[in-house]
Amino acid sequence: MFQANNYADFLAQLNALNDKDLLSYSIIEGLLGQLEQCSKCRNNQKLSKNTHYKEGYTARCGKCKYFKSLFKGTFFEGRRLPLRKMLEFFFFSGAEV
């Protein structure tokens, strides 16, 4: 998704995404946990707004309302920096984002 040769281009592309699209991109790229079946009732989870969680979204079951952090079990779990800032760090470190 990010096709940038320099920081300015990367930052412009990053800032063009709203929070939900950035999280969706991060899930697709495997940076965050996948939206999977609910561990309680086996219904499919979806991205759901929840301001009590990091980045304002969780994986939530539409049937039993169980939810979990998208960051659980990933490199980002427990990190205080926003996802956008961490992706900037990856760009500077030379990691492919």
Q: In which residue are the tokens 């929840």 written?
A: 50
Residues 1-31: tens digit of each pLDDT: 677 778 888 888 889 999 999 999 899 888 8
Q: Is 2 helix (H, G, I), strand (E, B) or coil?
A: coil
DSSP state, residue 5:
S
pLDDT of residue 34: 85
Residues 35-58: tens digit of each pLDDT: 889 989 999 999 999 888 888 899
pLDDT of residue 90: 82
As a residue count, the chain comes to: 97
